[in-house]
Amino acid sequence: MPTAAEKMPPTAVRYVEGDATAPGGPGTKIIAHCCNNVGVWGAGFVMALSRRWDRPEGEYRAWAERHGAGFQALLGAMQLVPVESDVIVANIIGQSGVVGRMAKGKIPVRYEAIAKGFGFIAQYAKDHPEKTVSVHMPRIGCALAGGSWAQIEPLIDRAFVTNNIPVTVYDWPGGTFNP
């Protein structure tokens, strides 16, 4: 017999203008974002995270250091970093390299890696049914990583919407992204 959650229609992604580092709502809020697999932290959304909390950058850099050259093989891996009693940052290794170090015409985003990271977050929500878990993010993978939102949005639907996990996508006022 289906549970009440299984009978409910899937939730829709909510789009808002605002700051993804200040998520609202009840329960545990997971802020998902895209990191590279070369240990570089210093541009894009990560700067907003670093202005708010030290721990996501520190944990990411320590993770990269522990793995050395093997860090490049961690595409799709994800690291959950608690930053407040009800806020967790999800460092998803969703891009291979960084802009400026890529061959001409190549973009760093790796959609399958982002999908895998989203899957880990969805599993976390399923493993913690006692918590209300929601996911918050900028238009992940669509700025410096060079991705297309038209390819990211279905990944969100597959991982979160179909599992009734609320998602809020934040557009920075005046910001730009790849449609």
R_g (Cα) of the chain, nearest Å: 16
**Number of structural domains in the chain:** 1
Q: What is the pLDDT of residues 109-123, one digit of tens each?
A: 999 999 999 999 999
Position with higher pLDDT, 171 vs 105: 171
Task: Look at residue 2 and tell me if it is in a domain.
Answer: no
A 10 A CB-CB count for 38 gives 17
Taking residues 129-146, what's their average pLDDT? 91
Please report whether residue 179 resides in a domain: no
- CA distances to 35, 78, 83, 97, 144 from 60, rounded to whole Å, are 9, 10, 13, 15, 18
Retrieve residue 32's tokens: 């998902």
Q: What is the CATH number of the domain that holds 99?
A: 3.40.220.10
Residue 114's domain comprises: 20-171
DSSP state of 133: E
From CA 136, how far away is CA 13, in angstroms rounded?
10
Question: Do the domain assignments include residue 82?
Answer: yes
In a domain, 165, yes or no: yes
Does residue 147 surpass a pLDDT of 70? yes
User: pLDDT (tens digit, 9 = 90+) per residue, 21-38?
Assistant: 999 999 999 999 999 999
Q: Examine residue 141 and state whether it is found in any structural domain, yes or no.
A: yes
pLDDT in tens, 49-95: 999 999 999 999 999 999 998 999 999 999 999 999 999 999 999 99
Residue 103's pLDDT is what?
54
What's the pLDDT at 117? 98
Alpha helices, H only, 8-145: 45-52, 55-67, 111-127
| 7 domain-assigned | no
Residue 12 lies inside a defined structural domain of this protein: no
The answer as to whether 15 is a domain residue is: no
Strand ordering across the sheet containing 28-36? 14-17, 167-171, 133-137, 28-36, 87-95, 78-84
